[in-house]
């Protein structure tokens, strides 16, 4: 499961050809498995690592040579605040998101001399269409679900997708040209709070 190296090379190459180059790559794909380490199977580990880690690495491998030719580029790897805090029955997801932050630092170090910046974006709870469906299935209104979902944050609410997108856009832009190898945590203060996900 996940994108193969050849698939990544193919669609990155197509994008570069269509647009005459490549300046920005946002790696933003993930799956989540709900297991403890004793429940998790080899197949489920292969699946989540294939999407959440190898997929990012393969897309970056395809994009960096294109960026190198222009002497600059920005890669934004969407991780999660779960890279730093533990959630329940999410050992695989949390592991892969921590791996994304390590991948980010290592790529930033390797490719800074080529003018390529690499940063991680670490969102917290974000209310997406997936959560709208969860709310409906549980018999709650969207507002009721948001209140419960965002309660652990300092701001008492989840992010909306556009708030996360704005941070990705900032990291990708020239406004962030002196930022590389770091993590931008966008979680309403959840990590800084005294408690994590329940």
pLDDT in tens, 98-118: 999 999 999 999 999 999 999
**Using CA atoms, how far apart are residues 174 and 82, in angstroms rounded to an integer?**
28
Are 83 and 100 a contacting pair, CB within 8 Å?
yes
Q: Which of 163, 58, 151, 71 is nearest to 116 (CA)?
A: 71
Q: Which of 164, 55, 180 is nearest to 108 (CA)?
A: 180
How do residues 72-108 score in pLDDT, each as one tens digit? Answer: 999 999 999 999 999 899 999 999 999 999 999 999 9
Are 52 and 97 a contacting pair, CB within 8 Å?
yes
The whole model's pTM is what?
0.94
Are 113 and 175 a contacting pair, CB within 8 Å?
no
For the question of residue 197 being annotated catalytic, the response is no
Q: Is the pLDDT of residue 194 over 70?
A: no
Q: Can you list the domains of the chain with their CATH numbers? A: 5-124 (3.40.50.720)
Q: State the catalytic residue, choosing from 56, 93, 178, 197.
A: 93
| Residues in a beta bridge with 186 | 123
């Amino acid at each position: 499961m996940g994108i193969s190296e050849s698939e990544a090379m193919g669609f990155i190459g197509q994008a570069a050809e269509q647009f005459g180059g490549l300046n920005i790559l946002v790696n933003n794909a993930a799956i989540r498995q709900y297991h403890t380490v004793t429940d998790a199977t080899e197949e489920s580990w292969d699946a989540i690592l294939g999407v959440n880690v190898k997929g990012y690495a393969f897309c970056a491998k395809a994009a960096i040579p294109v960026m190198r030719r222009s002497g600059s580029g920005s890669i934004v790897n969407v991780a999660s605040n779960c890279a730093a805090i533990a959630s329940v029955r999410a050992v695989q997801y949390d592991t892969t998101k921590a791996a994304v932050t390590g991948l980010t630092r290592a790529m930033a170090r390797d490719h800074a001399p080529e003018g390529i910046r690499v940063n991680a974006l670490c969102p917290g709870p974000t209310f997406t269409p997936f959560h709208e469906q969860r709310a409906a299935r549980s018999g709650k209104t969207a507002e009721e679900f948001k209140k419960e979902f965002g309660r652990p944050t300092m701001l008492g609410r989840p992010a909306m997708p556009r708030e996360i997108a704005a941070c990705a856009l900032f990291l990708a832009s020239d406004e962030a040209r002196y930022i590389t190898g770091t993590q931008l945590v966008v979680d309403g203060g959840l990590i800084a709070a005294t408690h994590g996900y329940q």
